Structure 1
């Protein structure tokens, strides 16, 4: 696996996009969208796992207008600092930055096959909204707090969509998750998956969030979803990319 940082230009400046390349050097592309903690340990860990599965992964630095390169520990102090910082985040501009990143990802020589997106927390909300604008081969949203209020926009999404929630999430109450489940009914492209005993950010390995059993089950669902809609080719001995 190789990594590098590309630069993408927006109307008001440029921002970093962290890239992970699989050992083969090429593969389908996944836009990986950060939590409020930035492109930190959890996002980097997920990117490495996806690259090991054969994907080219791009994670943009969405807080570049506020604090370029922001990374915070997912502990009480990090949560407080990240919430303060993210209070100044322009959500529509973040969606636009992800659209630019997707265009950049699709233009890479290393990306062969389709493209999709995966977001956690803040990124889960952005992944959902981006899917209303850009057709993709697979969209995965983990506990996006904006999704229940935007559930009516689901009719604009034609891409295969997986929505993952924790059923014991204090930030997204179970009755709000039920709103999403009802909106998904009768839509063959949409699947919901709820880990009833898990809270918010349960996939993050930080002690204050992590629910290991729920995280493992949800990741199995997510990778099966990717294998169905955005499959990565099996590694080929001697395969390389100049």
Structure 2
């Protein structure tokens, strides 16, 4: 689908479940762009019964961006990411959420890495029905805003993440400890982007499997698909 905003328009490809209907999830990209990994996650979520939309966040700086997951691809993506305006990214995520909710009735957020940060930011400023944030690097420094998040929210981090030190993760652990709408899971043996199965540099299969089971159970409990 095409999302129109004040300064232009961007694509948000959609994956539908076999039924053709269900609650919506905005799936938010890593810096690698709309790649095969993200498409496979969208397919996984659609198979669970969700209508999934992926906004193309880098449309202003690198339209159609997708990179490899080796060191060269990471460097190129970091360069593109350095020219990305996070505030505009949040507004694009919120626009996609609103568009998807108009179509499906209910809509939530799920993001990885850059997307994990944007999912949390959007949860503080919009009103998603659910949010899942995987290893968002800005989350620890922004966790004081958790009071603004009213939907069920789940955080995932790696305990060996070189980009998000364990003491920073602990700030999130402490902040959500007594909140009935929030939970956090730390895969202590994993580093950053551990769920990305096409990135050997990052992927931790055991942690990925555990975190994904926790994610799907959380979604089924707090944001269930439509009855068959």
TMscore range, shorter length: over 0.9
Query: 2:226, 2:210 → 1: CA distance?
Result: 23
Matches within 5 A, 1:41-190: 41-108=36-103, 111-112=104-105, 114-190=106-182
Hey, which of these two has a bigger chunk of helix by percent?
2
Query: 1:61, 1:143 → 2: CA distance?
Result: 20
Q: CA offsets, 1:48-96, max 9 Å, x none? A: 0000111000000000000111001111111000001110110010000
2:208 aligned with 1:215: yes
- CA drift at 1:135: 2.0
Q: CA offsets, 1:108-153, max 9 Å, x none? A: 2xx25x2111000000000000000122221000000000000100
2:218 aligned with 1:225: yes
SS of match in other structure, 2:65? coil
TM-score (norm 1): 0.92
Query: 1:97, 1:138 → 2: CA distance?
Result: 17
- CA drift at 1:228: 0.5
- CA drift at 1:234: 4.8
Q: Larger Cα Rg: Structure 1 or Structure 2?
A: 1
Query: 1:8, 1:138 → 2: CA distance?
Result: 21
SS of match in other structure, 1:85? helix
Query: 2:10, 2:193 → 1: CA distance?
Result: 26
RMSD: 0.9
Hey, which of these two has a bigger chunk of strand by percent?
1
What residue ranges of structure 1 are gaps of 5+ in the alignment? 1-5, 236-242
Deviates more, 1:134-143 or 1:191-200: 134-143
| Equivalenced residues, count | 227
TM-score (norm 2): 0.98
The answer on whether the counterparts of 2:194 and 2:203 sit within 8 Å (CA) in structure 1 is yes
